[in-house]
Each structure stands twice: as C-alpha cells, then as structure tokens.
Amino acid sequence: MYSPEERQIFRYHNGTKMVCADPAVLYRRFLKAIGGEQRLGDIEKKLASANDQLVEQGIEELLPAVREGLNLKSLDEEGQGATEAEQLRAYYGFLEFLTESKKKVENSPTWQPSMEEASSGPPVPTSQSGSPSGSIAAGSSVNKQF
C-alpha cells in the first residue's frame, strides 16, 4: 500500500466544503466537459490573449467545464457555493497539483522513462494544438487577476 505522502489525492474546496478526489477522475470529467484537448487548447489561447474580450470569452467557456469537472457549486443567493474567482483558483490549483504530482513521479526511484521520453527529455503534456496543457496556469492575465 501507499503511504499518505505517496497517495495522489487532490484536496480542494468545492464551494460548500473541503473534499478529496482522485485527480485522474477529475481530469477525465473536465476534459469531457470541455470537449477534449483541442478545445482546451483553443480556450487556453483565448485566456492568454492580450485582448480582454477574448479573455472574457475564454473564461465563460472554461468555467462551466471547471464546475462540472471539479464538481463545484456556483455561488447562490444565500452565499453558498464558489465565486468565479474561487472556481478559477480551484482550476489553477488543480493544474499545479498535476504538475507537482508528475514531478514527484518522475523523481521517484521506481519511475522509468519510456524509450521515447528518455531520448527527448521529460514529457510535457500538450494539447492537440501543440501548446502545453495547463500552460495558462503560470502566466496568463486571468491567473494574475485572481
């Protein structure tokens, strides 16, 4: 069995309470909700744009999939649920968690790269458009706003 430190469990606030989830399940559910890797890449380009109108459009396309993928509740009239800023923070936190988890696995003494990975260096998850998946997490204007 895995020790608590080795278990890859994503913990986050879903708008109502702190929850634990399997990141693989969350990622599959998010990709299905967003419409796949290529669609995610298109949205990431909008979010990374200097054009505020495109950024806003990207946010409006991203948030429904974030809510569905991470099972977040939107803020209601009674103050229950997550604001848009909290939803974006949960998403970026999830991307950061995936990146850190990948580093831990690659630095593990039991991890062995495939022949392709060994010849080209560590793999970077990419969307079908060729941009790194989750590339907006570190540098976009959206992330800086929240």
Residues 117-128 pLDDT 10s: 444 443 334 344
The reported pLDDT for the residue numbered 107 is 65
Do the domain assignments include residue 2?
Answer: no
- Residue 87 CA to residue 72 CA, distance in Å, equals 7
Per the structure block, which two tokens stand in for 105?
A: 């696995």
- Residue 88 CA to residue 139 CA, distance in Å, equals 14
Q: How far is CA 110 from its chain centroid?
A: 26
Do the domain assignments include residue 18?
Answer: yes
The reported pLDDT for the residue numbered 5 is 64
Do the domain assignments include residue 145?
Answer: no
The gap between the terminal CA atoms of the chain, to the nearest Å, is 38
Per the structure block, which two tokens stand in for 68?
A: 């569905």
Helices (H), 35-83: 37-47, 52-70
Backbone phi and psi for residue 125, each to the nearest 5 degrees, phi listed first: -60, 130
Q: The dihedral of CA 42, 122, 33, 76: what is its sign?
A: negative
Residues 11-64 pLDDT 10s: 999 999 999 999 999 999 999 999 999 999 999 999 999 999 999 999 999 999
Q: Name which residue leads in pLDDT, 55 or 6.
A: 55
Do the domain assignments include residue 5?
Answer: no
Domain count, the chain: 1
Neighbouring CB atoms inside 10 A of 79's CB total 7
The reported pLDDT for the residue numbered 136 is 40
Helix (H) or strand (E) holding 20: strand 18-21
113 is in which domain, residue-wise?
A: 10-140
Do the domain assignments include residue 146?
Answer: no
The reported pLDDT for the residue numbered 101 is 85
